[in-house]
Amino acid sequence: MKTKKPPIGFEKALARNQEAMNKFSELSESQKKEIMNSTNNIRSKDDMQRLYNRIAADY
């Protein structure tokens, strides 16, 4: 599975959610790839916020 390049500003926006950023940094490479590939469905800031909330809560 090829990893998709993150959307512009992904890291910057992730940095605004400290809990999500910490958890993302602790993920395995395969988990990071799964999240990065899920960004294909991101269409709005709200979608991105839901992704960060999911990272913080689920991982």
Residue-level pLDDT at 2: 56
Within a domain: 3:
no
The pLDDT tens digits for 46-59 are 888 888 888 888 87
Q: Is residue 16 scored above 80 in pLDDT? A: yes
- DSSP states along 17-42: SHHHHHHHHHS-HHHHHHHHHHGGG-
Within a domain: 31:
yes
C-alpha dihedral sign at 27, 53, 56, 21: positive
Structural domain containing residue 49: 10-58
Within a domain: 16:
yes
Within a domain: 23:
yes
Within a domain: 2:
no
Could you give the 3-state DSSP secondary structure of residue 4? Answer: coil
Tokens of 32: 């990071």
The pLDDT tens digits for 17-40 are 888 889 988 999 999 888 888 888
Within a domain: 41:
yes
Looking at the 3D structure of the chain, how many domains does it have? 1
9 vs 15: CA distance, rounded Å: 10
